[in-house]
Chains A and B, each alone.
Chain A
Amino acid sequence: MNDAASRSSPSRPRLRGPSFFRALRAMPGLLRVGFAGAVAYRAEFLIWVLAYTTPLIMLALWTAVAAEGAVGRFGEREFSSYFAATLIVRLGTGAWVIWDMNWEVRQGTLQRRLLWPIHALLTYLAENLAALPMRIVVAVPIAILTSLLLGNIWVRDPVQLAIIPVSFLGAFLLTFLPMAIIGTLSLWWESSVALYDLWLALYTVFSGYVVPLELFPPQLGAIVRWLPFRQMLAFPVENLTGLIGREQALHNLALQWSYITVFAVFAALMWRAGIKRFAAYGG
Chain B
Amino acid sequence: MIEVDRLVKHYRVHERPPGVGAAIRSLFSRPMRVVKAVDDISFKIAAGERVGFLGPNGAGKTTTLKMLSGLLFPTSGNARVSGYVPFERNPEFLRSIMLVAGQKQQLLWDLPPAETFELNRAIYDLPRAEYRATLDELVSVLQLEDLLQKPVRQLSLGERMKCELAAALLHRPRVLFLDEPTIGLDVTMQAAVREFIRRHNERHGVTVILTSHYMEDVAALCPRVIAIDHGRLVWDGSLTDLVRETKPEKRISLKLAAPATTAELECSGARVIESTELEVKLQVAQAQLPAAVSELLSRLQVVDMTVEDAPLEEVLSDLFARHAE
Chain A interface residues toward B at CB < 8 A: 1-2, 4-5, 8, 10-11, 13-16, 18-19, 22, 25-30, 32-33, 36-37, 40-41, 108-109, 111-112, 114-118, 123, 276, 279-283
Contacts and interface: CB of A to CB of B under 8 A. Distances in A.
Nearest to B97: A115
A277 to B, nearest CB: 10
B94 A14 contact: no
Contacts of B82: 1
A13 B73 contact: yes
Given A36-B111, A112-B104, A117-B94, A279 B118 contact: no
A117 B122 CA distance: 11
Nearest to B8: A10
B120 to A, nearest CB: 9
Interface residues of B, number: 47
Contacts of B121: 29
A37 B89 contact: no
B145 interface: no
Given A22-B91, A33-B108, A111 B72 contact: no
Contacts of A25: 125
A8 B104 contact: no
B55 interface: no
6 contacts: A13-B85, A16-B89, A22-B125, A111-B104, A279-B71, A283-B66
Interface string B67-107: 00111111111101011110111111011011101001110
B71 A283 contact: yes
Contacts of B91: 16, 18-19, 22, 117-118
B295 interface: no
B42 interface: no
A33 to B, nearest CB: 4
Contact of B71 (A11, A18, A115): A115
Nearest to A118: B123
B110 interface: yes
A10 B78 contact: yes
A112 B107 CA distance: 10
